[in-house]
């Protein structure tokens, strides 16, 4: 008999204890950021039809939701606002009594230890639904920056712990950093949507946040899914401009990009597990075609393994519960 030469990898998989000993990647509650949609009005808790389990909350219903998030041990939420009225420049975004500002005040009063991250964009507040100002069918870059900086400052004033600009105008980090510093918020970090692709996976979010562009698309400011080198350029410029965290978005179809960014930069990396990714899993789970808990945990673990330090995910409450069960 010839002696076959091979390695016995199965030795380290032989029991649960052995497997636990060599486990390389962990998902923790501390990694999670939970998105919350706040809407002007009263007595609203409306489920987003393409995102089962995700709701729009009016302020009078927000408290209970926040209590639950805190009780589950989730350390941070990211807020998206739906104003009662929209206009050409997105006034609701930077109004001191805008919906995000009011929600921030409410949350910080109730749970000062919960980190409030404010998404900084104009698209939910503009009547045309674009992330910057427009002229005809053009999305204006430079004149949008001042409005974005004002939005960030009003969010910081309301008590936001972190500013997360998602608009993809060039120079938004510089403009927002300058605005925050000038207003005395030099200690408020910027979690930049540095690498944000023009993705079809944002579909359900546009129901959730009522922020669909009323004409055209976002391809002149969000990135082409084909591109990898462009991700390096975007990450690099945001770092130079003063970003404190880098978001890569979406996550699932961009795990290679998460790894690239992690390997080449030293800031904390945040994966955004977006609405369409959530909707796909939910749809399959509701049909019992997949085991939701196992699939979600495997998916998020994959994002961690790819190099993300933090994950923005609509699954956060479920995940926090499941991780607790496992202990």
Task: Respond yes or no: is residue 196 known to be catalytic.
Answer: yes
Task: Respond yes or no: is residue 249 known to be catalytic.
Answer: yes
CB of 272 to ligand PBG, least distance (A): 6
Contact 166, 195 (CB under 8 A): no
Q: Out of 86, 108, 249, 317, which one is annotated catalytic?
A: 249
Residue 24: both structure tokens together: 């390389």
CB of 165 to ligand PBG, least distance (A): 9
Q: Out of 46, 108, 157, 196, which one is annotated catalytic?
A: 196
How far is it, in rounded angstroms, from Cα 163 to Cα 13?
A: 43
Neighbour count for residue 155 (Cβ, 10 Å): 32
CB of 121 to Zn ion, least distance (A): 3
Neighbour count for residue 295 (Cβ, 10 Å): 16
**Could you give phi then psi for residue 245, rounded to 5 degrees?**
-135, 155
Q: Which stretch binds ligand PBG (CB under 6 A): 117-125, 136-144, 232-240, 252-260?
A: 117-125
Sequence-ordered alpha helix ranges (H) in 8-82: 16-21, 59-71
Residue 32 as a binder of ligand PBG (CB under 6 A): the answer is no
Gyration radius of the chain over CA positions: 21
Nearer to ligand PBG, 71 or 190 (CB): 190
* Nearest Cα to Cα of residue 79 among 203, 2, 4, 162: 162
CB of 47 to Zn ion, least distance (A): 23
Nearer to ligand PBG, 80 or 185 (CB): 80
Interface characters, 248-287, with ligand PBG (x: CB under 6 A): --------------------------xx------------
Could you tell which of Zn ion, ligand PBG, none binds residue 119, using a CB distance below 5 to 8 A set by kind? ligand PBG
- Interface with ligand PBG in residues 121-180 (CB under 6 A): 121, 123, 131, 166
Contact 269, 310 (CB under 8 A): yes
Residue 2: both structure tokens together: 């010839």
User: How far is residue 7 CA from its own chain's centroid?
Assistant: 42
| Residues labelled catalytic | 196, 249
Contact positions toward ligand PBG, by CB under 6 A? 119, 121, 123, 131, 166, 202, 205, 211, 218, 274-275
């Amino acid at each position: 008999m010839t002696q076959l030469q091979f390695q016995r990898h199965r030795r380290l998989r032989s029991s649960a204890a052995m497997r636990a000993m060599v486990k390389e990647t962990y998902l923790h509650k501390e990694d999670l950021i939970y998105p919350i949609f706040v809407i002007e009005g009263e007595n609203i808790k409306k489920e987003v039809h393409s995102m089962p389990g995700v709701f729009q909350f009016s302020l009078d219903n927000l408290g209970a939701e926040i209590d639950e998030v805190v009780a589950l041990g989730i350390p941070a939420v990211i807020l998206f606002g739906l104003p009662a009225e929209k206009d050409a420049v997105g006034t609701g975004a930077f109004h001191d009594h805008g919906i995000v500002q009011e929600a921030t005040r409410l949350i910080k009063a109730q749970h000062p230890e919960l980190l409030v991250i404010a998404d900084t964009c104009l698209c939910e507040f503009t009547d045309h639904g674009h992330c910057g100002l427009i002229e005809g069918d053009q999305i204006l870059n430079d004149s949008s920056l001042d409005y974005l900086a004002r939005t960030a400052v009003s969010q910081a004033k309301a008590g936001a712990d972190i500013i997360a600009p998602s608009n993809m105008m060039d120079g938004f980090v510089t403009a927002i950093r300058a605005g925050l510093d000038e207003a005395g918020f030099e200690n408020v970090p910027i979690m930049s949507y540095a690498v944000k692709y023009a993705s079809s996976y944002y579909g359900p979010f546009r129901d959730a946040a009522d922020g669909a562009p009323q004409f055209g698309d976002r391809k002149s400011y969000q990135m082409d899914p084909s591109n990898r080198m462009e991700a390096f350029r975007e990450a690099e410029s945001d770092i130079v401009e003063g970003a404190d965290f880098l978001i890569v978005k979406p996550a699932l179809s961009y795990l290679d990009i998460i790894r690239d960014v992690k390997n080449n930069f030293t800031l904390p990396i945040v994966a955004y597990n977006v609405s369409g990714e959530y909707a796909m899993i939910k749809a399959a789970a509701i049909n019992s075609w997949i085991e939701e808990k196992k699939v979600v945990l495997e998916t998020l673990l994959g994002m961690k393994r790819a190099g993300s330090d933090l994950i923005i995910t609509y699954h956060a409450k479920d995940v926090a519960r499941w991780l607790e069960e496992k202990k």
